[in-house]
Amino acid sequence: MKGTRLTFSLGQYEAAVKSCLNNLQQDRIVERIWEQDYTVWKPSPDNIINRLGWLNAPADTLKKIQYIRSEIVPIINSGIKDVVLLGMGGSSLAAEVFKDVFGSTADCPTLRILDTTDPATIAAVTASLNPDKTLFIVSSKSGTTLEVNSLFQYFYNLLLKKSKTRARGLFLFITDEGSPMIKLAGEVSSLPIFLNNPAIGGRYSALSLPGIVPAAIIGVDVEKLLQNAVSVMLREKTHKSSGNLDDTGTALGATLGTLAQMGRDKLTLIMPSRFASFGNWLEQLIAESTGKEGKRILPVTGESLSEPGAYGNDRVFVIFPDGDEDSSPKIASLAAAGHPVITIKSDDIYELGAQMFIWEMATAVAAYILKINPFDQPDVEATKVLTSKMIAMYREERALPQEEPSLLTPELSIYGGSKAATPAEALHDFLTQAKEGAYVSIQAYLSRAPQMDEALQQLKTAINRKYRLAVTVGYGPCYLHSTGQLHKGDAGNSLFIQLTADDFLDLDIPDRIGSDKSSLTFGTLKAAQALGDRQALIELGRKVIRFHFAKNATAHIKILANSMTIL
């Protein structure tokens, strides 16, 4: 491996970071992490001692490569052209990174990720596939993920109607040892069941089976990927910190944790568009690990570099240079203005495995500095409980809860806003509530498409420029598995804009496989998830406004974005 190089331009913060590194050395923190000493983070072993399998995951997975290949080669050779992965969060994000960065080799199938409950998206995927030449990967570590189980029941029933024998050969399962999904997989599939180490949490599972099996199916050189990760793993394990900034995850984590303590808690990830999915993977790893107990490191993705004055004093920049563009002048100007900047360079894409391990170690070290447990997600359950209540209400009353809008027009309705005369004024009134250090989260329960991506980016950019606030964008329900923990676990001084719309079509979710009976649709499930998360945020004292579009959501989001330049 040629190496991954980290360059730190920390200005006034450098002395504090180096002091932190010296303290890490004196307290043997890195050695204790490798000794699996749970007291690094908390006095109790709960949700720590059983979540440290990621430390040796690259080496452990490398030993399984021959087994993985022996199981997947017959599947590839059977004429499969497309692979659809049904997964959420840690069960899908790493696979999406490998798909986007490496692509499929000529003799391997293409991979698609389905991580949504949006019926239009599911219908579009369904219509585009040849069922006889499509492999479905059902990936859920717990085996109980609501979205994954719903998607499985939907697709399995579709294929079951064609041929029970054929259906059994088109579903491959990845789950944890001891998962309830094992029994189901044995009943409905003749393909192998890949059992992952349950001591590896979902967001730390990229270099274990949930990430590596899909990568191998599309022809990624997973041996090389894991070998690079193992090299870094061994370096991290044996590295003795000198108190200086170097290329280790320890130095990166010390920097991120120290800066967050000093108010620089908006981790702004600047990277080429072809690596956008790597930014999404980092977003989950960092947000879900550090957003708790009133603390946070908030990843901000999808931004282009602006002039230093466009940013508040809460930013730290991590820049992955684009080989096609010289960004060094902009980087220099950020550093000169006092913004801390970390530049990360790699020589080839297969160092991605090394990068993943560096960031996992950095996240664990940063969490130690923040005095939090990076492996639990104590606030995620709130949305799940409220969503379940919404679904139960719907099944009993055939309707979801309703509330009075604060503004109603033929095009949209607004909930939770001021008594403004126009949608633009309502949004402006909402955003002027922002306090120092706040951020804005746009939560889009809408159909993902290039035009929608563009509209959301316009709204994000407009808010950032007018109010100088960090803005994140997530599609629902995906963000619930990435940033949902941080939204509910941090200090709560931020603003949430929820975007919903009427579904122009809907799809039934079978109550069970082999049955046409359905008491819930994907559209209703998506709506229940939006309502459940909004209610969870409100109950925690968060400020939330919802815009519900009756038609043409894309156009009206662009109108809102344009209004920011007028008000």
Element (H, E) at 283: helix 276-290
Bigger pLDDT: 471 or 163? 471
**Mean pLDDT, residues 344-354:** 92
Q: Which two tokens stand for residue 65?
A: 């490569």
The verdict on residue 412 lying in a domain is: yes
Task: Say which CATH number the domain at 76 has.
Answer: 3.40.50.10490
Half-sphere exposure of 195 (CA within 13 A, CB side): 9
Residue that is last in its domain, among 170, 197, 225: 225
Peptide bond into 477 cis (omega under 30): yes
The verdict on residue 5 lying in a domain is: no
Residue that is last in its domain, among 225, 256, 273: 225
Number of helices and strands in the chain (H, E)? 21, 18
Q: How many domains does the chain have?
A: 2
- What pLDDT is recorded for position 1? 39
Helix (H, G, I), strand (E, B) or coil at 248: coil
A 10 A CB-CB count for 141 gives 26
- Rounded Cα distance between 530 and 305, Å, is 32
The verdict on residue 295 lying in a domain is: no
Q: Please say if the pLDDT value at position 164 is more than 90.
A: no
Q: Please say if the pLDDT value at position 67 is more than 70.
A: yes
The verdict on residue 364 lying in a domain is: no
| pTM for the model | 0.96
Is the separation of the CB atoms in 303 and 465 below 8 Å?
A: no
Residues spanned by the domain of 540:
381-563
- Rounded Cα distance between 167 and 157, Å, is 9
- Rounded Cα distance between 388 and 458, Å, is 34
Element (H, E) at 509: strand 508-509
Residue that is last in its domain, among 176, 199, 225: 225
DSSP 339-361: --EEEEEESSGGGHHHHHHHHHH
The verdict on residue 117 lying in a domain is: yes
- Mean pLDDT for the chain? 95
The verdict on residue 333 lying in a domain is: no
- Rounded Cα distance between 413 and 416, Å, is 10
- What pLDDT is recorded for position 304? 86
**Mean pLDDT, residues 443-470:** 96
The verdict on residue 443 lying in a domain is: yes
- Rounded Cα distance between 173 and 158, Å, is 18
The verdict on residue 289 lying in a domain is: no
Q: Please say if the pLDDT value at position 194 is more than 70.
A: yes
Q: Please say if the pLDDT value at position 530 is more than 50.
A: yes
A 10 A CB-CB count for 31 gives 15
